[in-house]
Amino acid sequence: MDNRSIGVFDSGLGGLTAVKEIMKELPDENIVYFGDTGRVPYGTRSKETIIKYSKNDIAFLLSLNVKLIVVACGTVSSLALPEIRGDYKTPIIGVVEATADAAMHTTKNNRIGIIGTPGTIKSSSYERLIKQKNSSIEIFSKACPLFVPLVENGHFDTKVAELVVEEYLEEVKKQNIDTLILGCTHYPLLKNTISRYMGSDVKLIDAGAETARALKEHLDKNELHSKQRGGAEYRYFVSDNVDGFESLGSMFLGMKINGQVEKIDIEKY
Ligand code: DGL
C-alpha cells in the first residue's frame, strides 16, 4: 500500500488521454500531471533533446515524491526510456509495451497500422516489439507530424482536422489493416475524425487506455495501491501559460480544472 501520487507526464495535452483512463481504472489514486507545454512538440526533435527534456520532467515529478511515473508519451517511451530507465529507483512505465501487446491481440488479419510522431516512427519501437513476438504480422507505419499541433490548438473534430487526417492516412487506409495503433498519446483526441476516415472495420488502439490497464496490473502485482477510498486529488503543472491548458484540459477530461493548473520553470530540474 502506498498513498503517494502517481506522476504522469507528456509534452503537452496528449498525456491527459492516459490520465482520463487512469482516473477511470484507478479512481482512488492521486495523480500529479506535468505537460511540457513550453517545449511541445517533442516528436520532431532529436533523441538527445528528448532525453534531456525527459530527465527534467522525471526530476520534477520525483521532487513531488511520486511513487511511480507513467511516461504518457509515445516519443519519450520510444526514444528516451530505453536509455534512462535504469538511472532511477522509482518504477517508470512507458506506453509502448502494453499498446503493442493490445494491437497483437486485436488483429485478426495480421495487418496492423502504426501512426505516431516522426521520432516514434523512426525508432520502430512498436514495430520491433510486435515483430519479435510474431514475425508474420505485417506492419504499415506513418508519421503524422501535424496531429500534435492540431490537438494543442483544439482542433479535435474540425474540418481542418479532417483534411489533415485524410492527407496522412490515405496510404495507410489502402493497406487493408484491421487494427491501427494510435502511437502518440495526443491522437486519441482525434479519435472521432480518424475513426470516421478509417471506417468501423478498423479497430483503434489507444496508447493511454492500454497503459492505464498496465499500470493497474503493476500496482496489483507490487501492492502499490493507495489505501484511501474516494476523494483522489489531482494536480496539474505546465511549463507555459495555464489558460489554454485549463480550457482544453477541462473540455477533454469532462471536469473543470480551472484554477488547479500551476506554471513551473522546468529548466530548473
Ligand atoms: N504525446 C506525445 C507522444 O505520444 C508527444 C507528442 C509531441 O510532443 O510531439 O508522442
pLDDT 10s digits, 9-45: 999 999 999 999 999 999 999 999 999 999 999 999 9
Burial of residue 49 (number of CB atoms within 10 Å: 0-12, 13-18, 19+): middle
CA of 46 to the centre of ligand 1 (A): 13
* Residue to probe by mutation, ligand 1, list 73, 189, 210, most atoms within 8 Å of CB: 73
Q: Is the pTM of this model over 0.85?
A: yes
The answer, yes or no, to whether residue 166 has pLDDT greater than 90, is yes
- Catalytic residue selected from 79, 103, 184, 204: 184
**Look-up: residue for cell 506506453?**
95
Looking only at the bridges linking them, the beta strands covering 179-182 and 203-206 are parallel
Query: Which residues are paired to 179 by β-bridges?
Result: 112, 203
Average pLDDT over residues 79-104: 97
Phi-psi region of 130 (alpha: psi -120 to 50; beta: other; left: phi over 0): alpha
End-to-end CA distance of the chain: 28
Give the model's pLDDT for residue 110.
98
Give the model's pLDDT for residue 230.
79
* Residue to probe by mutation, ligand 1, list 8, 9, 10, 16, most atoms within 8 Å of CB: 10
Average pLDDT over residues 251-267: 94
The answer, yes or no, to whether residue 123 has pLDDT greater than 90, is yes
The answer, yes or no, to whether residue 145 has pLDDT greater than 90, is yes
CA of 149 to the centre of ligand 1 (A): 10
Q: Which residues contact 16 (CB under 8 A, 6 or more apart)?
A: 10, 33, 35, 249, 252, 253
Give the model's pLDDT for residue 62.
98
Looking at the chain, list the stretches that DSSP marks H as alpha helix, in order from N- to C-terminal side: 16-25, 47-63, 74-79, 81-84, 96-106, 118-123, 125-133, 147-152, 159-173, 191-198, 207-221, 243-253
Give the model's pLDDT for residue 146.
96
Give the model's pLDDT for residue 225.
94
Residue 184 is a catalytic residue = yes
The answer, yes or no, to whether residue 251 has pLDDT greater than 90, is no
The answer, yes or no, to whether residue 103 has pLDDT greater than 90, is yes
Q: If you write DSSP's letter for every residue of 144-200 in order, what string do you get?
A: -TTHHHHHHTT-SSSHHHHHHHHHHHHHHHTT--SEEEE-STTGGGGHHHHHHHH-T
Nearest to 249 by CA among 202, 189, 198, 192: 189
Give the model's pLDDT for residue 237.
98
Q: Model confidence over 55-70: pLDDT tens digits?
A: 999 999 999 999 999 9
